[in-house]
Amino acid sequence: MVKIRLKRMGYKKNPVYRIVVLNSTTKREAAPIQQLGFYNPKTKEMQLDKQSALDWIKKGAQPTQTVQFLINNCSDEGKLNYVKKETVKLSKKAQAKLEAEKAAAESAKTEEVSA
């Protein structure tokens, strides 16, 4: 079976991946059938030949879960459409304080409306 997966490059604690087409029985570092692009998870930089990847999928190649995510979130030019999440995780204490402030604001609004 042919798979589209990531091939790890780079040095220690600084990975860079190549998106390659490989036979599923070969090792991760084996010679690829075709190289489709690269992905740097630290800088969120990516270059992918999306049309070629879609052609391989039509031929029956199975992309890994990560590669499927990259293909789905890639523009037509092959760049990653990455949107950084703006949510901030709060501690339980901070969440309780925020909920209390919201409840106080809502009760103030209802009192103004009834008055």
Q: What is the pLDDT of residues 14-49, one digit of tens each?
A: 999 999 999 988 887 788 899 999 999 898 889 999
Coil, strand or helix: which one is 5? strand
Q: What is the pLDDT of residues 64-107, one digit of tens each?
A: 999 999 999 888 888 888 777 777 788 889 889 989 998 888 88
Pair of tokens at residue 38? 């690269």
Q: What is the pLDDT of residue 58?
A: 95
- The CATH code for residues 2-72 is 3.30.1320.10
DSSP-derived secondary structure for 89-115: ---HHHHHHHHHHHHHHHHHHHHHHH-
The residues spanned by each domain of the chain are: 2-72
DSSP-derived secondary structure for 10-57: EETTEEEEEEEEEETTS-TTSPPSEEEEEEETTTTEEEE-HHHHHHHH
Q: Is the pTM of this model over 0.75?
A: no
